[in-house]
Structure 1
Amino acid sequence: MVSPSSNAETIHLSLINAASFVSIKLSGRSNYIPWRAQIVCLLQSHDLLGFVDGTNEFPQQTIASADGDGIEPPKEEEKKGDEIRNKEDYLQRKRSDELVKACIFGSLSDQLLQDRAIHRLDTARRVWLVLKRRYAPNPPGRRTIDQIEHIALNDYRSYLPLFRALLSRDWEKAETFLNAHGGANIASINIQLQTALHLAVGVKSENGNTNFIEKLVASIENSEDLAIRDCFGETALHYAARFGNLDAAKILVDRYPGLPYIGTTDGLYPIHHAARYGHVSRDVFIHFLRFNENRAPYTDYSGVKLLYRLVESNLYDFATDLVETYPDLAKHATDGIPALKNLANREFTFVRGSHPHFWKQLLYCVPIRSTSRSLQRRPNANDLENDSQMVKTKYRRIYFSMVINKLHTLLFVVLEFLVPHLKRVRDKKSIHHNAFNYATCLCEKIENLRDREVESIAGSSLLEAAFCDNYKLVEVILRSFPFLVYYDVENQKNILHIAIENRCKNVFKVVCQMSQLLHHLVCAVDSSGNSILDLAGKLAPPNKLNLVSGPAFQMQRELQWFKEVKQMVPPAYWERLNREEKAPFMVFTEEHEKLKADGEKWMKDTSSSCTIAAALIATIAFAAAITVPGGNEQQSGHPIFSGNIAFIIFAISNAASLFTSSTSLLVFLSILTSRYAEEDFLHNLPRSLIQGLVALIFSIAFMMISFSSTVYLMFGQQKAWVLIPIATMACLPITSFVLLQFPLLVDLISSTYGAGIYGN
């Protein structure tokens, strides 16, 4: 026999599957209305509701209860001559009843299906009534099943005037409706089972005007009615927390102090909603922190959920305070994910790049601003006394440091007003700083655990951070637990295997700096017999491969990884075979065959396009050298403008354009006729493309200078103003080409002549 107390909520969850298509979207969440209302809606849509409400019940047979569970025996069989006039109608109704029973039984859990007494019931109605009596949940403050059934079938059109008054914040109309309809202030006015109070607190009061909510709350006589829940199990305070309505939250809590400790069926309290929507509900969250008489929202499952929601909202300073107050949260997990592992894949938690550019470093010197309650303490008299004492005891450096910090902060306040972008930089830096402190705090709280517990929490978090190239978190974990550098998973892949296989260059550099521990990692193999060189020979994941522009330079980056890892492993591993009897170079060739073909095609297409441009420029420059502007003298054959400075500029720039375009043409022709071996993608082909692009850029620039000189010679004599439009127009093609091709050229130079995978 199934225990009703242990399965009071099981039936509530299991019957949801019978009508899972009846879903309601609210605030980006997908959930379901209570189970009986769902079944009622489902059966009503198929004209089968009579089989559970009794109007179409079949003639019953007497059923004895085998286990003495108190089921009332069915009534004696009634005459069915008037109800079923023919056999076909009877069979049709019988099939419908069986369909309803199948719908109900198909939604039950395996444990509930073991109740033999339920199986012995002959009609859908009797199954419905027994399940309702035994397992239907009815916690305090929640509507009864009969009320829910009535709500599901209710027509909410009568509440439209109240609905409109709530949206327009018109208390006179709302009051008129409430006076005319008793109990409407606590009644459900829509299919989500929301009351007027749920909807009212969802709108912030303008200019602090809270009269509407105050009057609505005052109209509710019983304070416990403020805890009425909607179909998601949320009270009006949950709504106030979600929408950041601090005024409404204060009014509700003042009227019913126990409201912050009423959670949903999932164990989520109003403070959880304030944490999740921290970008608009930060003030509400801070207000809820005052209510700590009941520790339920901050401990066990609820505390972990609160911690995760703070992280989702980037409120890492509050999360740090929570862990400091409740250290056990650091070792708990939700859905198998510890709090430390939850940081691994956070996109904006840490700086993902190696080092920011120079101008970003300058912007990154902005002072951070914390919002944590522990860091927002005002100085008291003791602090001032200590400060003065430090000054008196010749600790003037601390005093001057405080003054400099104040001036520094004041300076950036002014700069933020002038340059709004600095505020975003400050916020981003604060997130990074607070996330780092939060990760450090989590590691400190699990240091006293046993090694196995530390490995299960920090070990999995370390490998997840390595997979996401979250090198800052990797540094924090390895600084606290250096022995985890040897931690591996079921396939025996350690942190170095994961970093190389997924091309996580930042984590790779961090691990390589641990030279005293690197030897064992380098020689380790995974469960497939692959060394780190075999993993370097595999094709990079698409998300990392696409960080490099062009298949040719993707191939170059893959070669750089392979060469770099090859220098790390002992020579014996260069020809070592894995379990597939393949050497590392064979793995690289097979994995990169398609990428090599794509790189060759990309190189040839690019070279062909640039060859045409170089040939056109060379033709124009050669023709301009033969037909000089202004012509030649009849007697001597010298150019007429040979003594003009503009003509000298024309001659030099035209010659330079011809030479550079010809050089570019030859370089691109050499790329077209290259052998395209794997090693050529590492240096030869990129170097040739760099030379060709540089020569082409200079040829275009010299061609524009030559053309501008010619125009000035022909039309700009004694008209200096002509130089302005000529120079402006001449810069357009040069600037366009540089803007379009210069990023590619910079990537080429950085990848070929830079630090390789150790570069930015």
Structure 2
Amino acid sequence: MALPRSNEETIHLSLVNAASFVSIKLCGESNYIPWKTQIVCLLQSHDLLKFVDGTIQEDEEEKGDEEDYNLQRKRNDELVKACIFGSLSDQLLKDKAVHELDTARQVWLVLEQRYSPKPKLQGGSRVVYIELKDYSFYFPLFRALLSRDWEKAEAFLKQEKDASIAPINTQLQTALHLAVGVKSEKGNKHFVEKLVASIENKEDLARKDCFGEAALHYAARFGNLDAAEIIVKRNPRLPHIACMYGTYPIHYAASYGYVSVDVFAYFLRVTEDPAPYTNLSGVKLLYALVSSDLYDFATELVDEFPNLAKYEECGNSALKNLTKKEFTFLGTSRLNFWQQLLYYCVPIKLTTRSLQRRPNANDVENVVNDSQMVKTKYERIYFSIVIKKLHTLLFDVLEILVPHLKHVRDKKSIHHNAVKYAACLCEKIANLNYNEVDSIAGNSLLDAACYDNYELVDLILRRFPYLVYYNDHNQKNILHITVENRSKNVFKLVCQMSPLLHNLVICFDSSGNTILDLAGKLAPQNKLNLVSGPAFQMQQELQWFKEVKQIVPSTFWKRLNLEMKDPYVVFTEEHEKLKVDGEKWMKDTSSSCTIAAALIATIAFAAAITVPGGNNQQSGLPIFSANIGFIIFAISNAASLFTSSTSLLVFLSVLTSRYAEEDFLHTLPRSLILGLLTLFLSITSMIISFSATVYIMYGQKKAWVLLPVATMACLPITSFVLLQFPLLVALISSTYGAGIFRN
């Protein structure tokens, strides 16, 4: 028996309204997602889309008996309820009356009655709530857009002429909005061309969604250059239309420029109106370029519009926004040895979008008047150009052979452009009055010190040296900020300013803390995480305290702050938990190594008593005592026993240590280094001893036995080196190396 059409329509309406409710709930939020599209795709993947688009068949063979069909209908209804509940906030889910309802339709009606949104104002901007509407009519066009099937889309558009410009979902997106939302997909360009051509009035290309964004905004966001060119060619006015938040398409292109620079370059050519480049809109564009690492574009923008250097958005200027890009300014400090070697060798990749000009004869003639000097200068410049061209060409070829080289080269180019951009900002800020410079550059200086952005600090201080005495609202100068945030590179830079250092050292913040008090406080967690293991972290904190103590006058060592605590008390209280964690880490490590050392010592002692081959019954000497392999066995076995015993004693001393604060600086790391070294030697000696025994017993006159034995003997040694050697190197470097404050 077939299900009545009225019930089918009820299920159909439940699904559509559920999708609409999900979309409305998130309307206006920053993390907005087109949920309706996702629900349609979900239902399509489960073959449930027929309950949405009204294509339920009356065929008895497809439905089967009434009992099975009712069961399937119930499952579909539960799926709709799950879609609704999955979209609700935690507050709405607490409504028990909603959970007691049986069908999805009932849930929807109750939610609509109780929680129907009403128009309101938020932050001065109009929040758009969409009227509930059944958009299921446009589902065939929706599916054609998703599959890029122009034949089906064209057939639908011929039936409904206004469908190409009509909103087809609750976000008021038109077909063109959805069509341009794919970057460089096969067949997408043809689809967009046909769709744009089907729109009779070119002004309809500017139709906006609920956020005031036109289709060109979508093309810029998704990096769809083909679609952008097609739309702008039809209506050149569109790049100058902003959304409700004052954002132009070029802003979206800049935000996603790191994916496709060509898209932003195109919008830069077609956006001729100065509105996107000036005032607050220009600042937003500048921030978007910096976030995408397009510093060369940002430099050109500031050169053309110098006022952007002084504008602020939410208290952040362009220079202050640059302070958070510390990884861009780190240069080679985060590269390994081979990457650093490549970094210094690779040439900077200059792009065609740059405004840099190639030197010519006219430039040379302007430099000097003497004809002979002009000729010499001319030849020298062009000879240098030829060398650079060959150098660049060589690395262009190497990039193809060594793909990793491109990463290093791009990093160097970004760093080079970022330094130029920062210098350009400082140059523009220097033309402002004293108060503006003090506010913009001073705050940026302290922020750069907080993020250990030492290159930016150096640029600012070279341009504005008097800002070294700038204080924040807590009366903290650059040295206070540096020590508090453990910015070692900026600390080294400031300490090199010997004429200014004394005045910075004797300053107090608003809480009466000197830099030694701040060194006694626990480092920020992100700086502690740079060092592995609580014991190492405690050692680095002690090194910081010791280094700062050396530059602070002795009269400040016992000085009390406003909390009546001296720096030593501050250090002890702040690092109490870290000290306990470091003690536990040292004991756990020592206990594990003690077991290994004791096992090796036991094996070595037993091997020394029961020598390979046994002893001569008459003389009592080992049978193979004259064999070279036996000599190797004896020496390596003795070395294994002695080194493992030494390692065992060292780790026992670590376990019984008093674990005072100062012990973490040298005593405990020194013991751990000695223990790990002797343990490594004992393992190596044990492997050599065993290999010699195998050769004595089974390798006589069989030289080929040496190859597999030696190969397999390398496995445990290599494993130990890979797993424990980095720890050993870090220990030696931090304890006996140059230190974290010296090059």
Q: TM-score scaled by structure 2? A: 0.81
Which ranges in structure 2 are unaligned for 5 or more consecutive residues? 1-21, 37-83, 85-110
Alignment of 1:533-544 (within 5 A): 533-544=516-527
Sort the Cα spacing of 1:614 and 1:759 in 2 relative to 1 into closer, same or farther, 3 A.
farther
Residue in 2 aligned with 1:306? 285
Structure 2 residue aligned with 1:297: 276
**1:722-737 superposed matches below 5 A:** 722-737=705-720
Per-residue CA deviations over 1:443-502 (Å, capped at 9, x if unaligned) read 111001112111211111111111111112111111111111111111111111011111
- Alpha-carbon offset, residue 380 of structure 1: 8.1
Of 241, 246, 254, 1:275 maps to 254
Cα distance in 1 for partners of 2:649, 2:635 equals 21
CA distance in structure 1 between the partners assigned to 2:541 and 2:725 by the alignment: 23
Output the CA distance in 2 between the equivalents of 1:355 and 1:419. Answer: 20
State how far apart, in whole Å, the 1-side matches of 2:366 and 2:307 are: 35
Q: Is 599-608 or 396-405 further displaced after alignment? A: 396-405
Q: Which of structures 1 and 2 has the bigger CA Rg?
A: 1
Q: Aligned pair 1:192/2:171, yes or no?
A: yes
| Alignment match, 2:348 | 368
Name the SS of the counterpart of 1:279 in structure 2. Answer: coil
Measure how far apart 1:25 and its partner are: 8.6
Amino acid at match of 2:683: I
Matched with 1:251 is 230
**1:351 is paired with a residue of what secondary structure?**
coil
CA distance in 1, matches of 2:216, 2:554: 67
Aligned partners of 2:428 and 2:201: how far apart in 1?
A: 45
- Secondary structure at 1:449 match in 2: coil
CA distance in 2, matches of 1:204, 1:136: 31
Shift of 1:740: 1.1
Partner of 1:144: none
Alignment of 1:153-172 (within 5 A): 153-172=132-151
Q: Which residue of 2 aligns with 1:234?
A: 213
Is the Cα contact below 8 Å between 1:316 and 1:435 reproduced in 2?
Answer: yes
- Structure 1's 509 and 251: CA in aligned 2 closer, same or farther, altered over 3 A? same
**Aligned partners of 1:318 and 1:372 also within 8 Å:** no
- Spell out the pairing of 1:107-506 with structure 2 (5 A cutoff): 107=120, 152-204=131-183, 210-346=189-325, 348-351=327-330, 354=333, 356-364=335-343, 365-371=345-351, 373-375=353-355, 392-393=375-376, 396-506=379-489
Read off the aligned partner of 1:341 and give its amino acid letter.
K
Matched, 1:599 2:582: yes
Equivalent residues in 2 for 1:547-558, closer than 5 Å: 547-558=530-541
Gaps of 5+ in 1: 1-18, 34-44, 46-95, 112-134, 138-147
Distance 1:389 1:324, change over 3 A: farther
Asked if structure 1 preserves the Cα contact closer than 8 Å seen for 2:534 and 2:581, the reply is: yes
For residue 22 of structure 1, the aligned residue among 1, 14, 25 is 25
Alpha-carbon shift at residue 170 of structure 1 (Å): 2.7
Q: Deviations over 1:161-183 (max 9, x none)?
A: 22222233333322221121121
Aligned pair partner of 1:627 in 610, 615, 618: 610
Which SS does the other structure have where 1:289 is aligned? helix
Aligned mates of 2:122, 2:151 — CA distance in 1? 50
- Counterpart amino acid of 2:282? G
Question: What's the secondary structure of 2:701's corresponding residue?
Answer: coil
- Aligned to 1:503, the other structure's residue is in SS state coil
Task: Tell me the SS of whatever aligns to 2:270.
Answer: coil
Partner residue, 1:91: none
**Cα distance between partner residues in 2 of 1:155 and 1:346:** 47
Q: Find the counterpart in structure 1 of residue 99 from structure 2.
A: none
* 1:317–1:372 contact (8 Å) kept in structure 2: no
Corresponding residue SS for 1:152:
coil
Which secondary structure does the structure 2 equivalent of 1:646 belong to? helix
> Is the 1:241–1:281 contact (alpha carbons within 8 Å) kept by the matching residues of 2?
no
Shift of the alpha carbon at 1:723?
0.9
Residue aligning to 1:121: none
C-alpha contact (below 8 Å) 1:344/1:461 kept by paired residues? yes
Asked if 1 retains the 8 angstrom alpha-carbon contact of 2:23 and 2:171, the reply is no
Give yes or no for contact 2:329–2:455 (8 Å, CA) kept in 1: yes
CA distance in 1, matches of 2:241, 2:361: 40
Corresponding letter in the other structure for 2:294: L
Q: CA deviation at 1:389?
A: 9.6
CA deviation string 1:409-456 (max 9, x = no partner): 122122211111111111111111111111111111100111211121
Specify whether residues 503 and 280 from structure 1 end up closer, same or farther in structure 2 by C-alpha distance, changes over 3 A only.
closer
**Is residue 2:566 matched to residue 1:586?**
no
Distance 2:233 2:449 in 1: 48
CA contact (8 A) 2:145 2:153 kept: yes
Query: Deviations along 1:17-46, whole A, 9 cap, x unmatched?
Result: xx997214999557999xxxxxxxxxxx9x
Q: Which moved more, 1:385-394 or 1:160-169?
A: 385-394
TM-score, length basis structure 1: 0.79
Superposed displacement of residue 524, structure 1: 0.4
State the AA in 2 paired with 1:586: V
Distance 1:434 1:110, change over 3 A: closer
CA distance in 1, matches of 2:512, 2:185: 67
Q: Percent identity?
A: 73
In structure 2, distance between residues paired with 1:564 and 1:316:
37
Q: Shift of the alpha carbon at 1:657?
A: 1.0
Question: How far off is 1:509 after superposition?
Answer: 0.9
Change (3 A) 1:697 1:726: same
Amino acid at match of 1:22: K
Cα drift, residue 744 of structure 1:
0.8
Distance 2:630 2:114 in 1: 97
8 Å contact 2:339–2:408 — kept in the other structure?
no
Deviation at 1:259, TM superposition (A): 0.8
The 2-side partners of 1:194 and 1:541 are apart by 46
Which letter does structure 1 place at the counterpart of 2:209?
D
C-alpha distance 439-487 of structure 1, shift in aligned 2 (>3 A): same
Change (3 A) 1:691 1:397: farther
- Partner amino acid, structure 2, of 1:368: I
Are the equivalent residues in 2 in contact too, given 1:24–1:32 (CA < 8 A)? no
What's the CA shift for 1:733?
1.2
Q: Deviations over 1:332-383 (max 9, x none)?
A: 1111111111111125322177474432221102112233623476788968
Compared CA separation, residues 662 and 759, structure 1 to 2 (3 A): farther
SS at match of 1:160: helix
Q: What do the CA deviations read for 1:183-210 (whole angstroms, capped 9, x no partner)?
A: 1111111111111111222234557874
Determine if the alignment matches structure 1 residue 545 to structure 2 residue 528: yes
User: Contact 2:182–2:188 at 8 Å: present in 1 too?
Assistant: no
SS at 1:757 equivalent: coil
The answer on whether the counterparts of 2:26 and 2:32 sit within 8 Å (CA) in structure 1 is no
SS at structure 2 position matched to 1:527: coil
Q: Is the 8 A contact 1:32 1:231 kept in 2?
A: no
Task: Report if the CA contact (8 A) 1:647-1:710 is conserved.
Answer: yes
Distance between the aligned counterparts of 1:26 and 1:188, measured in 2? 20
Q: Paired residue for 2:503?
A: 520
Which residue is equivalent to 1:698? 681
Cα separation, 1, equivalents of 2:639 and 2:295: 60
Query: Do the aligned partners of residues 528 and 205 (structure 1) sit closer, same or farther apart at CA in structure 2, a change above 3 Å counting?
Result: closer
Aligned pair in 2 of structure 1 residues 390, 204: CA closer, same or farther (>3 Å)?
farther
SS in 2 for 1:529: coil
